[in-house]
Amino acid sequence: MTKTSTKAEVNSFVQGLITEASPLNFPGNATVDEQNFVLNRNGTRNRRLGMDLEPGYTLFDIDATLDDIQNTKPITFRWMNVGGNGSRNYLVVQVRNKLYIFDLANQSLSTGGLIDTIDLTSLSFPTTVQYSFAAVDGKLVVAAGQNQIAVVSYNGTGFTVTGRTLLVRDVWGVEVTDESAYETDDQYRGTVSRNDHFYNLYNQSWGIPRSNSSGTLVDAVNNYFSGLSKYPSNSEVVWSGLDFQAVVGGTPFERQYPNLYTDTFGSKVKAAKGYFIIDVLNRGQSRSAVVSTNKAKHPAVALASFTTNTDATQGGAKIICEFAGRVFFAGFGGIVVDGDKRSPNLSNHILFSQLVKNTEDIVKCYQEGDPTSRDGSDIIDTDGGYIRIAGADNIVSMVNLGTHLIVFASNGVWSVTGGSDYGFTATNYKVNKITSFGALSRSSIVDDGGTALYWATDGIYILERNQIGDFAARNLTQTTIQTLYEEIPTASREQAVGVFDSAGKTIRWLYSTGTPFTADHITYELILDVVISAFYKFRIYNSPDNEAIASAPFAATPFTADFVPNVVVVGTDEVVVGLDTVVVEVASQGSSILSTRYLCIVLVAGVPKITFGYYNNTRWIDWESVDNVGTDAFGYFTTGAVTAGDSSAVKQTPYLILHFNRTENGVDDEMIPENQSGCLVRTQWDFANSVNSNKWSSQFQGYRLKQVYLVNNSEDAYDMGFEIITTRNKLRGRGRAFAFHMETQPGKDCQPVGWNISINGNSVT
């Protein structure tokens, strides 16, 4: 039978993991499955280093039990520009209601990096909630869904923590239940004195006493009644009845003329409210307090005390973000306790502070000028206020993207920005809905400086600018790894933690399945290279006794990892000289620049402790330093099926030419090459996906040093003269399609560069 021959060259293996392609049209430079191989932009791959604790690590005691850690994972936040010092950057680690502060300038964060511990127990902060953080004007602002937020200040020597309540102007007032006409008719003038209506009138400009005809200060509401036998309506302000009274031989003074209110009566517009500044969450209690304060300030007013509904919102701000020099607050509860018809539902409200110049400004979510005043009622650019996003359900996060504040809710994403080119102000902003695909949680949202990526119910989305500069959403997984994404349990997706690696230009999401510190717990890392838009995946193996986990990735100060310090051990014992552990620097096979580290939790006799780690183990062992044993970080990848353009013809591949980077760079004292590589290879025929098909070939060693290189001793330079190791491998088997599976060996590196295949096929089907 006539044979046809062709060759296939794979030398740019950079498309990453693809699950959304047919076996008949699978891209030649992608994988159907892979684990623990780093995708390099030059077309090569290399085995990732082992996840391990940082060299010379220190374990820190924390006030938490194993149950605490399993129920509420610790989280991190980068506090930049601490105390207004641009070179001072700290890492905040939250465990229950304590904040552990580390100096990011330390290459070893756990060795000399702990600055202080801040206890938020005095502010009644909960122990079972992950807090939200923002940094503004050198201060750290912390929210936990409580009545108060915490403001942490640093003066160069120590930290100060203060609790603050969010303040707003009372733009709602209280419902007058005993005389409902006040609620339905803005021009209604009642004849019965009611404290609740008195409060509303005070709140709309009547709260300051005015002079009567004799020049005596009296309550403005009662003075109105003395002239008209009625009380002011909700449409009236005190200013329309004020005028100057001439005094013969004396000084004219401004007094209140009740008859003038009749002359100007007729407007159906509600009077402006907001004379009183109240606690946005505890409105009823706060109203009672401001009435008493007003009486003390103005003894002539009639309303001396005020008791009203509790009117409190359960659940304070859970989400905060710095934007445009202010702090934005969201994530309020929607349940109102003992409210009335005027009580606001704050669940879709976003409060924003005044432009922050000091600590007090952080909680001033109102305009500085009194809106009921006749002189200073205008809103100015630096004022605070609130934004109501209609339709937003369960706001889970906010992200500052420079010109836009991106608001993530469970049912969509919105942007808040300035109404013109000069940015957000209290007098000039607009809200646009970007998409109806909301975020699952705030921890998966990653900001890379110009775009935002997040995990939604149906995939991973990116928010990026379109041709006209507006943000639009695009699904990244729909044509790439959608099947993989859908296989991740919902609970795992909701707890995924993302970070942007600025040095490697990758987005990394850490997620896990099973119960932490048990055998069924598995930790994965999904990585997106934003330069070439390719996904790949890591699995972090458990230590033999399941006593260590990577809890949360965070962006650290970029550091060089050309040489990684390793503790010298003999058997399972560390080598010690005096009181010091012997450490040597070992050449790293990974990236030369790293910026992502991981908060690690280690169990010691069942008690959790925290420290830090990253991919640094040059023996490709996960958690070796935890117990001097660890677990091999097994890696593999499987290519897609190759049909050579004809899925009907039976083919053979007599030879497979494999190319690898040479990793051997020296010899030990016994003249055995160091940093050896290995790669086990097998062929899969006829779209077979299981060994049960009998279409999988036996494994063979694909990396083989052909040349014996002799050196005089271990100190001599090890230079074979070749940087690429090429092997020619005879393949057995036949079928209409074939794929390759390559995997690592314990203790050996693996850096495939590419391969070439000779394909022989029948010309007749």
**How is the chain split into domains, by residue range?**
3-33+42-47+635-762, 174-272
pLDDT of residue 713: 61
> Is residue 701 a contact partner of residue 682, using CB atoms and an 8 Å limit?
no
Using the structure block, give the residue that is written with the tokens 């374990």.
59
- Asked if residue 562 has pLDDT above 50, the reply is no
pLDDT of residue 587: 43
Least confident of 11-20, 148-157, 487-496, 581-590: 581-590
Q: How many residues can be counted in the chain?
A: 765
Per DSSP (E only), the strands in 62-119 are: 75-79, 90-95, 98-103, 114-119
Average pLDDT, integer, range 184-206:
96
The neighbouring-strand residues paired with 418 are 429
Other C-beta atoms closer than 10 Å to the C-beta of 712 total 7
Of residues 702 and 717, the one with the higher pLDDT is 702
- Asked if residue 573 has pLDDT above 90, the reply is no
The C-alpha atoms of residue 133 and residue 381 are separated, in whole angstroms, by 25
Q: What percentage of the chain's residues is helix, strand, coil (to nearest 5)?
A: 10, 40, 50
- Asked if residue 349 has pLDDT above 70, the reply is yes
pLDDT of residue 567: 53
Average pLDDT, integer, range 134-152:
97
pLDDT of residue 185: 93
- Tell me the one-letter amino acid at 120: L
Average pLDDT, integer, range 457-465:
96
- Asked if residue 666 has pLDDT above 90, the reply is no
- Asked if residue 765 has pLDDT above 60, the reply is no
- Asked if residue 571 has pLDDT above 60, the reply is no
> Is residue 350 a contact partner of residue 326, using CB atoms and an 8 Å limit?
no
Of residues 131 and 709, the one with the higher pLDDT is 131
Average pLDDT, integer, range 657-674:
85
Q: What is the DSSP letter of 202?
A: I
- Asked if residue 129 has pLDDT above 50, the reply is yes
pLDDT of residue 233: 96
> Is residue 83 a contact partner of residue 154, using CB atoms and an 8 Å limit?
yes
> Is residue 506 a contact partner of residue 528, using CB atoms and an 8 Å limit?
yes
- Asked if residue 572 has pLDDT above 60, the reply is no
Of residues 4 and 556, the one with the higher pLDDT is 556
Cα dihedral 699, 702, 708, 713 sign: negative
pLDDT of residue 385: 97
pLDDT digits (tens, 9 = 90+) for 281-335: 999 999 999 999 999 999 999 999 999 999 999 999 999 999 999 999 999 999 9
> Is residue 291 a contact partner of residue 306, using CB atoms and an 8 Å limit?
yes
pLDDT of residue 569: 52
Cα dihedral 281, 285, 291, 294 sign: negative
pLDDT of residue 715: 61
Residue 514 host element (H or E): none
Of residues 734 and 524, the one with the higher pLDDT is 524
Other C-beta atoms closer than 10 Å to the C-beta of 235 total 18
The C-alpha atoms of residue 265 and residue 283 are separated, in whole angstroms, by 31
pLDDT of residue 653: 86
Using the structure block, give the residue that is written with the tokens 């100190």.
715
Q: Predicted confidence band at 638 (pLDDT cuts at 50, 70, 90)?
A: very high
Mean pLDDT of the chain: 91
Using the structure block, give the residue that is written with the tokens 């020296």.
666
pLDDT of residue 760: 82
CA-wise closest residue to 230 among 222, 238, 239: 222
The C-alpha atoms of residue 103 and residue 653 are separated, in whole angstroms, by 57
Burial class (CB in 10 A: 0-12, 13-18, 19+), 616: buried
What single string gives the DSSP state of each residue in 688-699?
Answer: --SGGGS-BPPP
Average pLDDT, integer, range 182-207:
96
pLDDT digits (tens, 9 = 90+) for 356-407: 999 999 999 999 999 999 987 899 999 999 999 999 999 999 999 999 999 9
pLDDT of residue 285: 97
pLDDT of residue 6: 76
What single string gives the DSSP state of each residue in 139-180?
Answer: EEEEE-SSSEEEEEEE-SS-EEEEEEE-EEE--S-----SST
> What residues contact residue 507 under an 8 Å CB cut-off, 6+ apart?
446, 448, 453, 498, 499, 500, 501, 527, 528, 530
pLDDT of residue 250: 84
- Asked if residue 264 has pLDDT above 90, the reply is no
pLDDT of residue 591: 45
Phi and psi at 214, nearest 5°, equal -90, 0
The C-alpha atoms of residue 655 and residue 42 are separated, in whole angstroms, by 25
pLDDT digits (tens, 9 = 90+) for 85-94: 999 999 999 9
Q: Predicted confidence band at 588 (pLDDT cuts at 50, 70, 90)?
A: very low
Task: At 651, list the tokens.
Answer: 């083919």
CATH no. for 3-33+42-47+635-762: 2.60.120
pLDDT of residue 589: 45
Phi and psi at 746, nearest 5°, equal -55, 135
- Asked if residue 2 has pLDDT above 80, the reply is no
pLDDT of residue 710: 64
The C-alpha atoms of residue 399 and residue 395 are separated, in whole angstroms, by 12
pLDDT of residue 575: 56
- Tell me the one-letter amino acid at 428: N
Model pTM score: 0.91
The C-alpha atoms of residue 163 and residue 359 are separated, in whole angstroms, by 11
pLDDT digits (tens, 9 = 90+) for 147-190: 999 999 999 889 999 999 999 999 999 999 999 999 999 999 99
Average pLDDT, integer, range 420-428:
86
Residue 487's alpha-carbon distances to 59, 469, 524, in angstroms, are 35, 35, 13
Task: At 7, list the tokens.
Answer: 């060759």
- Radius of gyration over alpha carbons of the chain, in Å? 34
In the three-class reduction of DSSP (H, G, I as helix; E, B as strand; rest coil), residue 484 is classed as helix
CA-wise closest residue to 631 among 96, 48, 50, 20: 50
Task: At 589, list the tokens.
Answer: 């096979």
Average pLDDT, integer, range 679-686:
94
pLDDT of residue 355: 97
The C-alpha atoms of residue 56 and residue 330 are separated, in whole angstroms, by 41
- Asked if residue 682 has pLDDT above 70, the reply is yes
Q: Predicted confidence band at 30 (pLDDT cuts at 50, 70, 90)?
A: very high
- Tell me the one-letter amino acid at 180: S
- Asked if residue 494 has pLDDT above 80, the reply is yes
> What residues contact residue 727 under an 8 Å CB cut-off, 6+ apart?
657, 658, 660, 702, 703, 704, 706
The C-alpha atoms of residue 281 and residue 285 are separated, in whole angstroms, by 10
Average pLDDT, integer, range 13-22:
92
> Is residue 413 a contact partner of residue 439, using CB atoms and an 8 Å limit?
yes
